[in-house]
Amino acid sequence: MSTPLISARDLRVAFDITRPGDMPWTKPRQLHAVNGVSFDLMPGQTLGVVGESGCGKSTLARALIQMVPASGEVVWQGETDLLSLSSQRMQKYRSEIQMIFQDPLASLNPRMTLGQIIAEPLRTHRPELGREEVKSRVARMMDRVGLLPQMINRYPHEFSGGQCQRIGIARALIVEPKLLICDEPVSALDVSIQAQVIELLQELQRELGLAILFIAHDLSVVKHISDEVMVLYLGRMMEKAPADLLYADPQHPYTQALMSAVPVPDPQIERNKQTIPLHGDLPSPMAPPSGCVFRTRCPRAVEACAEEVPHPGRGRHQCACLFPGPLTADEVA
């Protein structure tokens, strides 16, 4: 069996929260953004991470590369725990793990031209390269992501959202990383542009052998790009399985509710399909429910759900639910 490219073990991220008026000796409250998440990502594969806003998806991604303080283990290629490294030692791995952000325009420096933006990682991580070699690599990468040569001296505000995201992809891939973290890279784009960007990512993945961590809140987007899907809720993993298995037979009530909200292109099917409503708002991560964190919105919750924390277990299909399985019509009603 091959070694995972990156493995997270019991990954946790907690922030100390103080309120106006708190005394210096007042103990700050803790916000648990990521709470005990574990997964493996193999070379060349895509792990989709889905969940509502505020479930810890982006924090999870940032914890993997030390952008936020975290505990647990993040093991790179079965050898190095990235969380144990100093900032100086972590620099070695930053060229192997690159990130694409949600807002394509905001992630680009408005004072730099397209060529300067794409070349910047090379100047940071490959300082030994000469000027002509840098220009050559930038030109090849622009061609690879569908940017025309005459665009090289333009500034970010002169491009559309889709073009800005292509610039972000080029900037991330210019240093030939092994892992690409995509933090909701298409949520700010039109549907037709979303399809183009996802198709581009898939082509580049096949060509370069990339592993991708793809974060989104839209299950229909994740379905087309992921080999495996992990569902988060309030910082905890609810369910994880190969994409075809998860979409064919979701076991957790939260996953089923998310899937029932995905629109179907066929009007007849869309009118007749059964939706699973989620009542109430996402609880505060500073005061999560006892036991199963989803129980306050779960149509299947019983007293035992408030007392015992369900664990996802191991295997191809992991589900953190005491009573997994499809919801009945009575439960949905």
User: Which pLDDT belongs to residue 134?
Assistant: 94
**Quick one: pLDDT band at residue 138, thresholds 50, 70, 90?**
very high
What's this model's pTM, rounded to 2 decimal places?
0.91
Is residue 332, in this structure, part of any structural domain at all?
A: no
pLDDT at 1: 58
- 49 and 232 Cβ atoms separated by less than 8 Å: yes
Integer Cα distance of 282 and 261 in angstroms: 16
Report the chain's C-alpha Rg in angstroms: 21
Q: What is the pLDDT of residue 157?
A: 93
Is the predicted pLDDT of residue 147 greater than 80, yes or no? yes
Mean pLDDT for the stretch of residues 109-131: 93
CATH of the domain at 40: 3.40.50.300
Report yes or no on 275 lying in a domain: no
How distant, in Å, are the alpha carbons of 136, 222, 233 from that of 215?
32, 8, 13
Q: What integer best gives the mean pLDDT of the chain?
A: 89
Question: What angle (nearest 5°) sits at the alpha carbon of residue 143, between those of residues 137 and 149?
Answer: 90
pLDDT of 24 over the 80 cut: no
- The reply to whether 273 falls in a domain is no
How many separate domains does the chain show?
Answer: 1
pLDDT of amino acid 313: 83
CA dist., res. 242 & res. 237, Å (int): 15
Count other Cβ atoms within 10 Å, centred on residue 331: 12
Q: Is residue 292 part of a domain?
A: no
Query: How high is the pLDDT of residue 219?
Result: 83
Residue 118 has pLDDT above 70, yes or no: yes
**Is 294 within a domain?**
no
> Nearest 10 degrees: CA dihedral of 207, 213, 214, 220?
90
Highest mean pLDDT (candidates 27-31, 196-200, 209-213): 209-213
User: Is pLDDT of 120 > 90?
Assistant: yes
Name the pairing type of β-strands 71-76 and 6-17.
antiparallel
Share of the chain above pLDDT 90, in %: 59
The residue among 155, 187, 183, 188 whose CA lies nearest residue 169 is: 183
Q: Among 144-148, 235-239, 265-269, which stretch is predicted with the lowest mean pLDDT?
A: 265-269
Tell me the pLDDT band of 184, cut-offs 50, 70 and 90: confident
Strand segments (E) across the chain: 6-17, 29-41, 46-50, 71-76, 80-81, 97-100, 179-183, 211-215, 228-233, 236-242, 318-319
Banded pLDDT at 46 (limits 50, 70, 90)? very high
**Residue 136 in domain:** no
Determine, yes or no, domain membership for 223: yes
Give residue 48's identity as a one-letter amino acid code.
G
Residue at token pair 């070349």: 119
What is the domain range of residue 215? 6-96+177-250
The C-alpha atoms of residue 275 and residue 257 are separated, in whole angstroms, by: 7
On whether residue 265 sits in a domain, the answer given is no
pLDDT single digits (tens) 84-115: 999 888 988 988 999 998 888 888 999 999 99
Q: Give mean pLDDT, residues 247-251.
A: 92
Helix (H, G, I), strand (E, B) or coil at 176: coil
pLDDT, mean of residues 294-301:
91
pLDDT of 30: 84
* Contacts by residues 144-152 (CB-CB < 8 Å, ≥ 24 positions apart): 144/170, 144/173, 144/204, 145/169, 145/170, 145/173, 145/200, 145/204, 146/200, 147/114, 151/114, 152/113, 152/114, 152/115
Question: How would residue 276 be classed by pLDDT, with cut points 50, 70 and 90?
Answer: confident
